[in-house]
């Protein structure tokens, strides 16, 4: 059975908050791949419940909403004027 990897990448931005953010379109495509006889594998880089994360700050909260883990990044040149920290939100690589 062929396997297909579906990747929901992390977000690079000034802020991010999980308000029921699920990769619905990607999940639909994975369902189609399964119907076609493939084994879909999902890598969700914005999964706050990923086994590699400490569950205390990012685990389940009311309504499954909450903060993403983040790593500060250098700002892109076009955004240097913005007075906020630029971060990558999601699991680390």
> Which tokens is 31 given?
């369902």
pLDDT tens for residues 17-50?
766 567 889 999 999 999 999 999 998 888 777 6
How far CA 26 is from CA of 22, 42, 45, 82, 83, in Å, comes to 9, 9, 13, 32, 34
Contact 22, 46 (CB under 8 A): no
- Distance separating alpha carbons of residues 84 and 93, to the nearest angstrom: 23
How far CA 41 is from CA of 3, 48, 52, in Å, comes to 7, 18, 17
What does the pLDDT read at residue 54? Answer: 64
- The model's pTM: 0.72
Q: Which residues pair with 87 in a beta bridge?
A: 13, 72
What does the pLDDT read at residue 27? Answer: 93
């Amino acid at each position: 059975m062929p396997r297909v990897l579906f990747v929901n990448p992390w977000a690079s931005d000034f802020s991010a908050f999980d308000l029921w953010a699920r990769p619905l379109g990607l999940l639909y495509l994975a369902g189609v791949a399964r119907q076609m006889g493939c084994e879909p594998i999902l890598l969700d880089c914005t999964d706050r419940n990923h086994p590699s994360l400490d569950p205390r700050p990012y685990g389940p909260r009311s309504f499954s909403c909450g903060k993403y883990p983040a790593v500060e990044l250098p700002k892109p040149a076009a955004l240097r004027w913005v007075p906020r920290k630029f971060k990558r939100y999601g699991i680390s690589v």
